[in-house]
Amino acid sequence: MSKEHFLKATDGNIFKTLHPEFHKEMELLPAAEGKRLYIEQIKADLKKLLPGGSTVYTSVRSVSSSGMSHVMRVYFVNKNKRISNITYSAAQVLGWTMNNDGVRMSGYNMNMGFHLVYTLSRILYPKGNKANKDGGYILKHEWI
């Protein structure tokens, strides 16, 4: 498997690639710093898309036969009233693995969609807000 590289574009955006040789105009970042900046960029983008009170929708794609592993997709409704898939961004911010169907989660006997959105909300809003000190409840969850 090829190694991930992180590049900084002239406009300041951070990109992840397996082939930095195709992007010679961009600055190659050290791996740890690049990953940290990449995740921070995704967090900032998600906070713009999901202000406090936004609803995040989850969909179960598969459950293992033991029930201990779930694969889910994550969506929100954008300002144009269109459903947008944010599964990749959520997986990156959460630090959870992904396959072609969605975010892979481990757990049993709990509402896994709520768990995903609560954890994402805690990461995006660690200090909460005036109405709620627990950042996990800043975003709302619904199933689709």
Q: How far apart are CA 113 and CA 84, in angstroms?
A: 17
8 Å CB contact between 95 and 101: no
Domain residue limits, the chain:
5-47, 51-143
Segment 11-49, tens digit of pLDDT: 999 999 999 999 999 999 999 999 999 999 999 999 999
pLDDT for residue 44: 98
According to the model, what pLDDT value does residue 1 have?
A: 56
Containing 91, the helix (H) or strand (E) segment is: helix 87-94
User: pTM for the full model?
Assistant: 0.92
Q: Which pLDDT does position 58 carry in this prediction?
A: 98
- For residue 3, count CB atoms less than 10 angstroms from its CB and return exposed for 0-12, middle for 13-18, buried for 19 or more: exposed
The per-residue pLDDT for range 118-135, each reduced to its tens digit, is 999 999 999 998 888 999
State residue 109's pLDDT score: 83
